């Protein structure tokens, strides 16, 4: 029993879980094996598999807490866990992922040296006997603008609880794009951050992930996020963000058409794109592409 972790944890590890009993123990054990006093908060977001049975194995571990709630999505599960956290520092680990050894003590040290409120880290992406390290490439200039073009933050998994509370936690109305949303808000807030250039987070690539298993919902929420952030700034007169918004909408229009065969959604995004930044090149591209295909 880790008495110090149970009574005075340095870090709270929040593990939101939905029907991930197959991998959940690995995530929990990676947190319990850290070289720093840690509490683990598993938030079961209405699982229908054997998650409850698995959690019974940890019933005697006072540093492990199990919270069951109705299914409300990953953002809501994260928020529940963060609100329950007792430590100053919080790490969020998806239930099919894991922490690298000693990662939490390295992050705490980095925060204490820098005074950061949140962090970026590199990750190890692994699947079927393969793995690769993914680095976070932070633009040298205006990262708060670059984050609107694409989510360049590989993983934001460690932060001070007060920092996330100040920016309003995760948006529970955005599904599958909640990470991009909170990354945009963190950079816009000006909260200090630190980039720890080590692969401290182990990310499992699964065929049933949000982007592959629920593509339509992912695309719809990408559009919802852009209307929340990009459109609001573009309507306020920021021409740079208007161009980014238009470009991203055009990409989304192509994905709606080619990946979902949804002409209506494609036309909606394409028209919105041209309204914010008219481009003859974008208009002519489908015509030129079709002509080339006919000539082949």
Both 181 and 278 in one domain: the answer is: no
Task: Identify the pLDDT of residue 291.
Answer: 43
Question: In angstroms, rounded to a whole number, what is the distance separating the alpha carbons of residues 36 and 7?
Answer: 13
Reported as a pLDDT band with limits 50, 70 and 90, residue 253 is very high
Judge if 109 and 199 occupy the same domain: yes
Clarify whether residues 263 and 147 are in a common domain: no
pLDDT of 274 above 60: yes
Decide if 150 contacts 179 (C-beta within 8 A). Answer: no
The whole-number average pLDDT for the span 168-196 is 97
Q: How many domains, in total, are found in the chain?
A: 2
- Average pLDDT of 221-247? 96
User: Sign of torsion, CA 286 288 290 296?
Assistant: negative
Domain with 221, as residue range(s), is 214-295
Identify the pLDDT of residue 275.
94
Please identify, among 207, 233, 263, the residue that sits at the C-terminal boundary of a domain: 207
- 287 pLDDT above the threshold of 50: no
Q: How confident is the model at residue 7 (pLDDT cuts 50, 70, 90)?
A: low
Query: Would you state the pLDDT for residue 288?
Result: 41
Q: Do residue 231 and residue 125 come from a single domain? A: no
287 and 193 together in one domain: no
Residue 1 pLDDT grade (very low, low, confident, very high; cuts 50, 70, 90): very low
| pLDDT tens track for 28-71 | 999 999 999 999 999 999 999 999 999 999 999 999 999 999 99
- Residue with structure tokens 């994260």? 78
Average pLDDT estimate for 68-89? 97
DSSP assignment of 66-108, as one string? EEEE----HHHHHHHHHHH--SSEEEE--TT-EEPTTHHHHHH
Residues 149 and 173 in one domain: yes
In this structure, are 92 and 139 located in the same domain? yes
63 plus 146 within the same structural domain:
yes
Where helices occur in the chain by DSSP H, the ranges are 3-7, 21-32, 51-56, 74-84, 103-114, 143-149, 161-167, 178-189, 210-213, 215-228, 230-235, 239-260, 263-276, 280-295
| Distance between CA atoms of residues 291 and 214, nearest Å | 33
- 21 and 79 in a single domain? The answer is yes
What is the signed CA dihedral for 68, 70, 75, 80, rounded to 10 degrees? Answer: -40
What is the rounded CA–CA span in Å between residue 173 and residue 92?
19
- Look at residue 262 and give its three-state secondary structure: coil
Contact indicator for 148, 185 with CB cutoff of 8 Å: no
User: Among residues of the chain, what percentage have pLDDT more than 90?
Assistant: 86
Query: What's the whole-number average pLDDT of the chain?
Result: 91
Tokens for 47, please give them. 């699982």
Give the end of a domain, one of 180, 207, 234.
207
Lowest mean pLDDT, pick from 3-12, 124-133, 272-281: 3-12
123: domain CATH number is: 3.90.550.10
Domain end: 189, 207, 225, which one?
Answer: 207
For residues 197 and 231, membership in a common domain is answered with no
Q: Give residue 159's pLDDT band: very low, low, confident or very high (50, 70, 90).
A: very high
Task: Summarize the confidence of residues 246-271 as an average pLDDT.
Answer: 95
pLDDT per residue as tens digits for the range 91-140: 999 999 999 999 999 999 999 999 999 999 999 999 888 999 999 999 99
Q: Do 42 and 132 fall into the same domain? A: yes
Q: How confident is the model over 81-90, as a mean pLDDT?
A: 98
Instruction: Provide CB contacts within 8 A for 200, sequence distance 6+.
Output: 99, 100, 103, 106, 107, 121, 122, 123, 157
Which tokens is 21 given?
Answer: 């009993």
Domain identity same for 131 and 203: yes
């Amino acid at each position: 029993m880790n008495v110090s972790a149970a009574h005075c944890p340095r870090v709270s590890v929040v593990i939101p879980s939905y029907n991930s009993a197959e991998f959940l123990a690995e995530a929990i054990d990676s947190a319990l094996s850290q070289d720093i006093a840690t509490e683990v908060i598993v938030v079961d977001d209405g699982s229908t598999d054997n998650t409850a049975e698995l959690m019974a194995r940890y019933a005697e571990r006072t540093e492990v807490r199990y919270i069951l709630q109705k299914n409300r999505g990953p953002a809501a599960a994260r928020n529940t866990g963060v609100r329950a956290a007792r430590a100053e520092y919080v790490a969020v680990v998806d239930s099919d992922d894991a922490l690298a050894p000693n990662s939490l003590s390295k992050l705490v040290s980095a925060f204490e040296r820098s005074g950061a409120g949140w962090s970026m880290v590199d990750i190890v992406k692994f699947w079927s006997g393969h793995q690769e390290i993914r680095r976070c490439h932070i633009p040298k200039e205006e990262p708060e603008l670059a984050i609107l073009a694409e989510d360049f933050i590989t993983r934001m998994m460690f932060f001070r609880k007060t920092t996330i509370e100040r920016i309003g936690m995760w948006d529970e109305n955005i599904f599958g794009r909640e990470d991009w949303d909170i990354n945009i808000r963190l950079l816009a807030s000006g909260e200090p951050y630190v980039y720890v250039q080590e692969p401290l987070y182990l990310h499992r690539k699964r065929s049933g992930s949000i982007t592959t298993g629920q593509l339509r919902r992912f695309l719809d929420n990408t559009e919802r996020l852009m209307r929340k952030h990009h459109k609001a700034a573009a309507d306020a007169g920021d021409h740079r963000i208007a161009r980014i918004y238009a470009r991203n909408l055009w990409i989304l229009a192509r994905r709606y058409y080619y990946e979902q065969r949804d002409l209506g959604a494609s036309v909606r995004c394409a028209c919105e794109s041209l309204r914010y930044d008219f481009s003859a090149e974008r208009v002519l591209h489908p015509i030129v592409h079709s002509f080339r295909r006919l000539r082949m």
